[in-house]
Chain A
Amino acid sequence: MSGLRLLTVGGVIAYRALFNWTTPGMFVGTLLVGPLFQLLFFAYLGRQLQVADDRFYIVGNAVLAASLACVFGGTMAVGNERRYGTLGHVLLSPRSRTAIFLGRAVPYAGNGLLIAVTTLTGGALLLGLRVPPGALPGLALALAVGSLSCACFGLALGAVGLRLRDIWVVSNVSVAVLLLFTGVNVPAAALPGWMAAAGRFLPITHAAEAARVLAAGRGIGAALPAIGREVAVGAAYAVLAAALLTVFEAESRRRASLDTL
């Protein structure tokens, strides 16, 4: 019960404390308008090159739209403790590290979902894509799962950021890698084999696949395997984040390797 409170209430306060992009201008510009133009860019490029239809680009880029907020948000959610010098005070808590840190992913996932839904709606309206109404609940699920797994990926980066000063470089590269490796804008079949293979271990890939199946009106049953794979990828990054935090904390107590104060 109180663990749940730490996950939810604690997660939301931590979001406001550590996320740098909560000002309206930053939020609308970076997180809402930017991804919509990216969607339009790839959709028009796709029309020109006749690689795939509008639905491919609209749905894929809508799922990907969450990644910027989730990857950078997740990184900030842990890595910014260093900036404020608060890590030591957090580590003095007797409570579960998993509840403290994994709870922080939840607001970013909600944030990502909002961005993905907005991008999908905007893209569909501007380009005239019709999505069957029956597919909407399934689509919402696919977008939510993609956002959550992306936020857990970000948390794992944030954990590394406790040790690595220049973690933002890694986050930047990650966002670019997601753009390419997840098959969102280049069909996975057209990617070099190793890139497609790496993409299967990244967030977004499977959620985008599920969302395309759903938007094509093929029903939730056809999308569930891909949603399951996205959940597995997200869970793996959550476990990785928790493991890194545990190892780094234990190591810091022995070797003073974290900036605890």
Chain B
Amino acid sequence: MGIAVEAEDLRRTYRSRTGWARARRTEVDAVRGISFSIERGELFGLLGPNGAGKTTTIKMLNTLLIPTSGRARVCGYDVVADTREVRRRIGYVFGGDRGLYDRLSGLDNLRYFAELYGVPPREQKRRIGELLDLVRLTGRERERVEGYSRGMRQRLHIARGLLHRPEVLFLDEPSIGVDPVAARELRGAVADLAAAGTTVLLTTHYMAEADELCDRIAVIADGAIQALGTPAELRARAAGRVGTREPTLEDAYVAIVQPS
């Protein structure tokens, strides 16, 4: 199988200055020594409260941020030394309303990013058509993105992340603000991708989603991994804490991030 993503003692400190005349320096240790590895084709979940360091971890893996210390490799390439090789192999989907050119149609957004992400010109049209079908935007692709609903934007984000057939896909809260039907479709699409061999790193706040999709889950809080295992292993940890009923992943999550 092989390893797709490897993080070794990754750390990231943000230093920021606030104020001007009497500048105050603040330091935030957002990620404090995280190590894990993801197998090729694995669907790996990263769960944790807001501010736990999930996005920071992903940004170190996708080359947008350089780790303060530690090392990481994606498909065997170092994220600091071989950025170009890493970028060719990864896709990144970041949940939210922004990140698209509102004045362009969905189709033109995809055309532009196909160019940027190195999709060969002769394949662009077919690839974009396939993805529009996959995210069910066919028929709406010529409308300006400014008129898209939250869910449509989210689906366009996903199509963009897949343009260049990435080997590793980072999904940072892809289901945020998406209605239940669309969220279910999204889960189906993610499961299909993983079944077809794409490695997926997913962050989400929806425990049922993580439980259903993920092969393994790491729970992080305060920048450190608090637990790592299959959903069943994590659920088993909460046994006995919830009376006689079967513990859910949510029970396990709460027990991990809020130990009594």
Q: Which residues of A contact B (CB under 8 A)?
A: 2, 5-6, 9-10, 13-14, 16-18, 84-86, 88-95, 100, 252-256, 260-261
Does the CB pair B99–A13 fall under 8 Å? no
Q: In the complex, A16 Cα to B88 Cα: how many Å?
A: 26
Chain B, interface SS category: mixed
5 tightest A-B CB contacts, nearest first: A85-B98, A17-B101, A93-B116, A94-B87, A13-B112
Report the minimum CB–CB distance from B32 to chain A (whole Å).
Answer: 16
Say whether B66 contacts A254, CB under 8 Å.
yes
Establish whether residues B104 and A93, one from each chain, have CB atoms under 8 Å apart when the complex forms: no
Q: Does B240 sit at the interface, judged by CB under 8 A?
A: no
- Given contact pairs A5-B115, A84-B100, A94-B118, enumerate 5 new A-B contacts (beta carbons under 8 Å): A13-B108, A84-B98, A84-B99, A85-B99, A253-B66
Nearest chain A residue, comparing its CB with the CB of B164: A94
Please give the residue numbers on chain B whose beta carbons come within 8 Å of chain A beta carbons, in ascending order: 14-15, 55, 59, 62-66, 83-85, 87-88, 90, 92, 94, 96, 98-104, 108-109, 111-113, 115-118, 120-121, 160
Given the interface pairs A2-B121, A260-B64, the reply to whether A92 lies near B102 with Cβ below 8 Å is no
Interchain CB contact (< 8 A) of A16 among B14, B103, B117: B103
Known: A86-B99, A261-B94. A92 touches B160 (CB 8 A): no
Between A and B, 10 residue pairs with Cβ closer than 8 Å are A6-B115, A17-B101, A88-B99, A89-B160, A92-B62, A92-B117, A94-B83, A252-B64, A261-B59, A261-B64
By a CB distance below 8 angstroms, the chain B residues around A100 are 116
Of A94, A253, A254, A255, the contact of B84 (CB 8 Å cutoff): A94
Is chain A's binding surface mostly helix, strand, loop or mixed? helix
B65 → A minimal CB distance (Å): 6
Q: Is the CB of B121 within 8 A of A92?
A: no
User: Are A10 and B98 closer than 8 Å at their CB atoms?
Assistant: no
Q: Across the interface, which residues of A come within 8 angstroms of B117, CB to CB? A: 92-94
* Known interface pairs A2-B121, A16-B108; A84-B101 also in contact (CB < 8 Å): yes
